[in-house]
A and B are shown apart, each in its own frame.
Chain A
Amino acid sequence: MKFASSQVRSALWTVAIALAATSLSGCIGAVDRMDFDNQMRERGGGMTSELVRGGFDSLAHRYGVDAVSVTSIDISPIETLGVTVRDPGKPTQLDRFSFDGVILGEPSPVQVIVTDDLDARSFTLDQVPTLTNLEKLVDDALENSGVDDGEVTGISVSRTEAIRASVMVESPRSRALVVFEPDGTPFLVHPL
């Protein structure tokens, strides 16, 4: 009987210690969401060529075409791809899509100004080969920006006179826009 009561007592102590450890431990081994997001940004924010390829494959599948024609591509941490697509069935209409690496969101309509020349503004992924090695583009932007301890906060590809990929590099103290040719050659560094 005495043995049984000591067993119960030790079991209660075990439970008490476990509960105390639970409340005091602060969840050993888990990372707070904000710290996790910061760590992922420091690593590169998931801005990879796989993200771009996955997004464009999903778009091509959605429209039932081999390749889509777009007017802008925006890539930002954490693994966010935004694309403005010319509807292959109605080339005068633009749709905006977001892709998170897995799921392609629903399209939202984009207003087109009457004077917009969509033929002159649109391009395909094949015309921007640097996006097939986005990791190198990110590294080159960090290297060329002149920003110490910078992070890439966004990449934007559009076509005005020519197709350009603009990469924004920011640190707590400064920021710069690094512009690249479609093949990944640095074109312009613009400290802001």
Chain B
Amino acid sequence: MSRHISPLLISVVVIVVVGIFAALLSSVIWPGQVAHLAPIFCEAPTSSAMVVSDTFSDGDGTSTNFTLYCVGPRGQTVDAGWLLPFLVLWGVYSLVLAIVVGVVGVNRRRRPND
């Protein structure tokens, strides 16, 4: 039993850790991808989403914060924050990684002599 659980546990941990790095790196390069989570976070009439960046400069350098806003056709705005959308993004990346790892694992088992 433990022989089967350990590799599974390791796989889950690796997927979750790689998932958070992938989500973190990709959200810095392409923060706009979070706007595609609008169906989860935004309700009518503010059913579309935009990612807004706030850049701050101080003695230590420059930093940028991102915020997901649900927006309406009349300029209505609802602050959906960033943490929760990021966690969902992390979950999506982890899920995609899990599917990829699962497919690769199944293929390897089918062809043990390759």
Least Cβ–Cβ distance between B33 and chain A, in angstroms: 6
Q: When A44-B74, A47-B74, A78-B75 are in contact, do A30 and B29 touch as well, CB less than 8 Å? A: no
Q: Are A33 and B54 in contact (CB under 8 A)?
A: yes
Chain A residues with a Cβ closer than 8 Å to the other chain, count: 30
Interface residues on B, range: 20 to 34
Return the chain B residue nearest A42 by Cβ.
Answer: B75
Question: Bound complex: CA of A22 vs CA of B109, how far in Å?
Answer: 38
Check A1 for interface membership: any CB of B closer than 8 A.
no
Q: When A25-B30, A30-B66 are in contact, do A50 and B51 touch as well, CB less than 8 Å? A: no
User: Which of A33, A44, A48 is in CB contact (< 8 Å) with B53?
Assistant: A33
Which residues of chain B come closer than 8 Å to A39, judged between CB atoms? 75
Which residues of chain A come closer than 8 Å to B54, judged between CB atoms? 33
Binding site for B on A (CB under 8 A): 18, 21-22, 25, 27-33, 36, 39-48, 50-51, 77-79, 101-102, 135
Pairs A–B under 8 Å by Cβ, sample size 23: A18-B25, A25-B30, A27-B31, A27-B66, A28-B30, A29-B32, A29-B33, A30-B51, A30-B53, A31-B50, A31-B52, A39-B75, A44-B74, A45-B75, A46-B72, A48-B45, A50-B45, A50-B76, A51-B76, A78-B75, A78-B77, A101-B78, A102-B78
